[in-house]
Chain A
Amino acid sequence: MKIRKKIQLIDQHDKFGIWGKKFGGNFVPETLKKPIKDLENLFSKLRNNKNFIGERDKYFKSWIGSPTRFIKLENLSNHLKGAEIWSKVVSDANGGAHKIYNATVHCLLAKKAGKKFIVGDTGAGYAGKMLSMAAKKFGLKCKIFMGAKDIQRQQPNVKSMKKNGAEVIPVYTGSQTLVDAVSECMRYWVANCDTTAMCVGSTVGPNIFVKICGWSTSQISRELKVQIKDEFGKIPKKLKLYNCVGGGSSSYGFWSEFIDYPKNQVELIGIEAGGPKNSKRHAAPLTYGSKIGILHGASQYVNQNNDGQIEETESISAGLDYPGVSPLHCFLKDTKRARYTAASDEDALSAYKLVTKFENLRPSLEPCHAFSVAIRESRKLSKNTIVVVNSCGDAHKDKNILKVRLGKKYAEFD
């Protein structure tokens, strides 16, 4: 298993849509074969079309607000006395998280395909919120499937979705979280694929959804590469890119332009959700050696029992609370290009406290997982090491959790 250079990772699959002979594919009911093929054809035509790229870039710039900031966390760096810590503030993007890139591209594609409806899944509510925003922008009717448990814990995003005119459909099956929302959304698409487009909220699902999402979030690393070169004159000799990994869309987008660099120059570190400290449950299939299985149309490392039943996960961050992980990350792990580790709920909360104490930045609980590991490792790193953490979401959606877990003063938002 080897990564090829100069070819985007999203394109390094075989004719069955499988990366590294093991991950991804199209394990879908026959009914979905045609809509998937149609989407593949449309995407492969448009991704190289100058007008389409122009349109995408126009919306990315004028509507999403690209580029998002790349800032030095000076106080935090001084406090830790190790590596120089920077952050790519992707939460600057319209809506407050990276999910807007994928949502925008899916809506553009849906318009080109002549669809009038779009459906999507959501965990933290960001994918849903962004899809509802983009759908409104492009005049599409929108339904969002969301686990009942997530609806309860991510109310601010639920409100935004409704405000944008989307119908939020609670999912009561299974663990009532993201995994069930994705299943329900796929089932809805099976029944309505003739009129409706589907947006999968991360780099998961059947092959084409992994590709479209990765292609969309890659905007993050295209910007970052330019910003790093502007700041340092070149790609630094020691660069470390920390990103949380749930489905894996922000991390893939954060890394994609840097995969070809040698790993002793640019190290990629993915941080999964380890769950509550004393719980056996987690959402970290890469870190804790889960077996390969099939979930939502793709083979991947996934938390499951011996029989192949998908196991329930547990994490404070709804956005990382998913038993599987993108085939792209499975590929990056097995080729050893990226390193994966986990942070617990408590680790993420401590990181939130520390980051907000020193910096004018409030990362949501998802990127706090990445901050936690970046903070821990930075202490021991040399001063000439550049650490960049993707702050891919804003904590506004987490204010209720922060209030309960850390107290009122951590949940005061304007």
Chain B
Amino acid sequence: MQNSISQAFKRAKQKKRPALLTYTVAGDNSKKTSIEILNSLSKIVDICELGFPHNTPIADGGQIQTSAYRAIKNGIKINDVFEIVKKFKKNKFSTPLILMGYYNMIYQFGENNFLIKCKNSGVDGIIVVDLPWPENKLFAKKCKKKNICFVQLISPTTSNSRAKKIIKDSHDMIYYISMLSTTGGKLKVSPKNIIKNYQKIKKINPRKNYIIGFGITKKTIGKLKSADGLVVGSAICEEITKSIKKGQNPVTNVSQNVIKLKKLIS
């Protein structure tokens, strides 16, 4: 059986556009808003990434940190994250959902328990920011057994020989980090060069789906549309922060923004 994530990529390809992925933090700025944002995004995007917030993130920039601290301050616990997923996945129009976070949270929950919870709540994929290859081999295998896609990451610093090994052990989807940066950094490499590097990686095994993330905004997304998928995170977290500051509804503001992003790649 093909993973729901692969099907989402296939559907986007049929529409001749890259898959659009969004990243939001679970519980930002409340459980209820978080579910509402996911529900409204699922009508626009192809895959939703949902972050489980951690308070010592070593790869996230300011925007996502702000969202994560806000969620933690509001008392969000890992079990709440699973509840959010479960409620979201009950909606029959829901997109595939990928959980994303730091390994300590999984480690404390217990890898096996974590995966059981993932399966029961309807998680389709997992990204663990600080569990690189080959350290992640065992956990990736456990994911596969549960038909959950473990998403490997590849960065501009990854050598070609290492990329080959990572891709060999990867599942349906691979995350290509656009540049040396934390999330949400200003794009310091031209989109043209990002695509050039991306194509090199893609060539290793063209059958898999590769998404580009880090630093993607309205300004840059259009120039990257030859990728299989594009993920926007910090720009959305920033929108939530702005909406809260202005006393506006983050759900509608986020949706409107994502619709604009989608137009730019359609």
Contact = CB atoms under 8 A, between A and B. Distances in A.
Nearest to B76: A307
A183 B104 CA distance: 14
Size class of the contact patch on chain A: 35 or more
B64 to A, nearest CB: 11
Given A33-B157, A173-B69, A183 B180 contact: no
A194 interface: yes
Contact of A309 (B54, B61, B131): B54
B54 A192 contact: no
Contacts of A306: 108
A173 B72 CA distance: 13
B58 A297 contact: yes
A297 B59 CA distance: 11
Interface in A273-311: 291, 293-297, 299, 304, 306-310
B20 interface: no
A295 B56 contact: yes
B58 A31 contact: no
B180 A308 contact: no
A257 B63 CA distance: 46
Nearest to B131: A27
Contact of A187 (B54, B162, B182): B182
B30 interface: no
A309 B153 contact: no
Given A27-B131, A173-B69, A296-B58, A308 B104 contact: yes
B180 A293 contact: no
B180 A187 contact: no
A193 interface: yes
Contacts of A193: 157, 180
Interface residues of B, number: 39
Interface in B55-75: 55-61, 65, 69, 72
B168 to A, nearest CB: 15
B106 to A, nearest CB: 8
Contacts, number: 110
A358 interface: no
Contacts of A297: 58, 130
A169 interface: no
Interface in B154-192: 154-159, 162, 177, 180-182, 185
B109 A308 contact: yes
Chain B contact residues, majority secondary structure: loop
Given A306-B108, A308-B109, A186 B159 contact: no
Contacts of A194: 157, 180
A191 interface: yes
Given A27-B103, A293-B104, A304-B104, A186 B135 contact: no
Nearest to A188: B182
B180 A31 contact: yes
B265 interface: no
A191 B156 CA distance: 11
Nearest to B109: A308
A33 B59 contact: no
A412 interface: no
A25 B157 contact: no
A293 B108 contact: yes
Contacts of A35: 157
Interface string A87-105: 0000000000000000000
A193 B180 CA distance: 8
Interface in B116-132: 129-132
Given A27-B135, A293-B108, A183 B177 contact: no
Listed from nearest, the 9 A-B pairs whose CB atoms lie closest are A308-B108, A34-B157, A31-B155, A294-B104, A29-B59, A308-B104, A308-B105, A30-B153, A27-B130
Given A29-B130, A186-B58, A294-B102, 20 more contacts: A26-B135, A27-B131, A29-B58, A29-B155, A31-B157, A34-B157, A35-B157, A180-B56, A183-B57, A187-B60, A291-B108, A293-B108, A294-B103, A295-B56, A297-B58, A307-B77, A307-B78, A307-B105, A308-B54, A308-B107
